[in-house]
């Protein structure tokens, strides 16, 4: 006897329900057996401003990743094998992505919200962290790493100390450090994502529209507060506008004058 339309519809519905139940079963298996956390958008959690690793126990950690143009903070993390890590991801500027290569962790960093997933690391290994969402000219260099080591190695691991070359020693550079200016601008005369600060003050700058301007106090003030107003030739308009007081801008300009 030929199958009626009603019987066919019932079979299709039953197959669909079975498929959905199978997906829920796999999700429950991943969470409860393999300790893989499903990606979750946490709108009730305030975005983090600082990246850090928090230890809740010798085998349970909370990892706050903060994405910004163009790096992840923290850039390197070490945990012991056997650890369960709750990963939280925030961004302080534009949309970024985060893939932990070698795992199923794949999160989006969306302004204003925190994304979350849980991962269990069983074996020692180095996991690269990369951004998979195009976020500007420095996107290809946006990377970090998560190291999983054996228990003995982890006990012997000491927190990394920033090198003296990574942060200028001059206390007058504090505002540039605070606002991540050295992520794009150097002090050694080598251009990066943005022009070098060395010898900047008083120089003639050629702009993207073909005109020129002297890098005096007026130009520097405008470039700091309104970076898209006069873009230097050969560079992209990617600098975010900082929130600074007049006194802070004056302090930055005074410091830039000293970098010969």
| pLDDT 10s digits, 65-87 | 999 989 999 999 999 999 999 99
The residue written with tokens 């054996």 in the block is: 150
Check whether residue 151 and residue 44 sit in a common domain: yes
Name beta bridge partners: 52: 64
The answer to whether 246 and 222 have CB atoms below 8 angstroms apart is no
Asked if residue 165 is part of any domain, the answer here is no
Q: Is 168 helix (H, G, I), strand (E, B) or coil?
A: coil
Asked if residue 24 is part of any domain, the answer here is no
Asked if residue 30 is part of any domain, the answer here is no
d(CA 147, CA 145): 6
Average pLDDT over the chain, rounded to whole?
Answer: 83
The answer to whether 153 and 147 have CB atoms below 8 angstroms apart is no
Kindly report, residue by residue over 108-163, the tens digit of the pLDDT.
Answer: 999 999 999 999 999 999 999 999 999 888 898 899 999 999 988 888 765 544 43
Q: Residue 188 maps to which CATH number?
A: 1.10.760.10
Query: What is the reported pLDDT for 235?
Result: 80
Check whether residue 183 and residue 229 sit in a common domain: yes
Query: What is the reported pLDDT for 170?
Result: 66
Check whether residue 45 and residue 152 sit in a common domain: yes
Check whether residue 55 and residue 136 sit in a common domain: yes
Domain-ending residue, one of 156, 180, 199: 156
Asked if residue 164 is part of any domain, the answer here is no
Which of 212, 192, 193, 190 has its CA nearest to residue 203?
A: 212
Check whether residue 53 and residue 139 sit in a common domain: yes
Check whether residue 51 and residue 123 sit in a common domain: yes
Query: What is the reported pLDDT for 106?
Result: 93
Domain of 98?
Answer: 40-156
Domain-ending residue, one of 156, 185, 218: 156
Check whether residue 102 and residue 190 sit in a common domain: no
Average pLDDT over residues 217-236: 88
Kindly report, residue by residue over 6-49, the tens digit of the pLDDT.
Answer: 777 777 777 777 777 777 666 556 555 555 555 677 777 888 88
Check whether residue 152 and residue 190 sit in a common domain: no
User: Angle 196-200-205 (CA atoms, 0-180°, nearest 5)?
Assistant: 100
Q: What are phi and psi of 109, to 5 degrees?
A: -100, 105
The answer to whether 45 and 88 have CB atoms below 8 angstroms apart is yes
> What is the percent of the chain where pLDDT is above 90?
36
Asked if residue 217 is part of any domain, the answer here is yes
What are the structure tokens assigned to 149, written together? 């080591």
Which of 105, 71, 101 has its CA nearest to residue 85?
A: 105
Query: What is the reported pLDDT for 161?
Result: 40
Check whether residue 95 and residue 140 sit in a common domain: yes
Check whether residue 130 and residue 181 sit in a common domain: no
Asked if residue 21 is part of any domain, the answer here is no
Q: How many domains does one find in the chain? A: 2
Check whether residue 52 and residue 151 sit in a common domain: yes
Q: Residue 109 maps to which CATH number?
A: 2.60.40.420
- Own/partner long-range contacts of 217-226 (Cβ < 8 Å, ≥24 apart): 217/253, 220/252, 220/253, 220/256, 221/249, 221/253, 224/249, 224/252, 224/253, 225/249
d(CA 134, CA 140): 8
Domain-ending residue, one of 127, 156, 185: 156
Asked if residue 194 is part of any domain, the answer here is yes
Check whether residue 152 and residue 46 sit in a common domain: yes
Across the chain, where does the E strand assignment appear? Answer: 40-42, 52-57, 60-68, 71-73, 76-80, 83-91, 96-100, 106-109, 114-121, 125-130, 143-149, 204-206, 212-214
Asked if residue 4 is part of any domain, the answer here is no
H or E element in which residue 257 lies: helix 246-258
Query: What is the reported pLDDT for 173?
Result: 80
């Amino acid at each position: 006897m030929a199958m009626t339309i009603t019987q066919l519809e019932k079979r299709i519905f039953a197959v669909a329900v079975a498929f959905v139940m199978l997906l829920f079963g796999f999700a429950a298996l991943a969470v409860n057996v393999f300790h893989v956390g499903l990606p979750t958008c946490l709108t009730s959690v305030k975005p983090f401003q600082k990246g850090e690793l928090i230890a809740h126990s010798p085998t349970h950690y909370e990892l706050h990743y903060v994405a910004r143009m163009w790096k992840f903070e923290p850039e390197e993390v070490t945990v012991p094998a056997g650890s369960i890590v709750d990963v939280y991801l925030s961004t302080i500027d534009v949309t970024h992505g985060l893939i932990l290569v070698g795992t199923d962790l794949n999160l989006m960093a969306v302004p204003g919200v925190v994304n979350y997933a849980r991962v269990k690391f069983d074996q020692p290994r180095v996991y690269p962290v990369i951004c998979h969402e195009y976020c500007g000219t420095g996107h290809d260099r946006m990377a970090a790493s998560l190291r999983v080591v054996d228990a003995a190695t982890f006990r012997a691991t000491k927190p990394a100390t920033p090198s003296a070359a990574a942060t200028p020693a001059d206390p007058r550079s504090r505002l540039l450090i605070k606002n991540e200016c050295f992520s794009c601008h150097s002090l050694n005369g080598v251009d990066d994502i943005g022009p070098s600060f060395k010898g900047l003050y008083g120089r003639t700058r050629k702009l993207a529209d073909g005109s020129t301007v002297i890098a005096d106090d007026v130009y520097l003030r405008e470039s700091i507060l309104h970076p898209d107003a006069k873009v230097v030739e050969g560079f992209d308009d990617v600098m975010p506008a900082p929130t600074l007081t007049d006194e802070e801008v004056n302090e930055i300009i005074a410091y830039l004058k000293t970098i010969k």
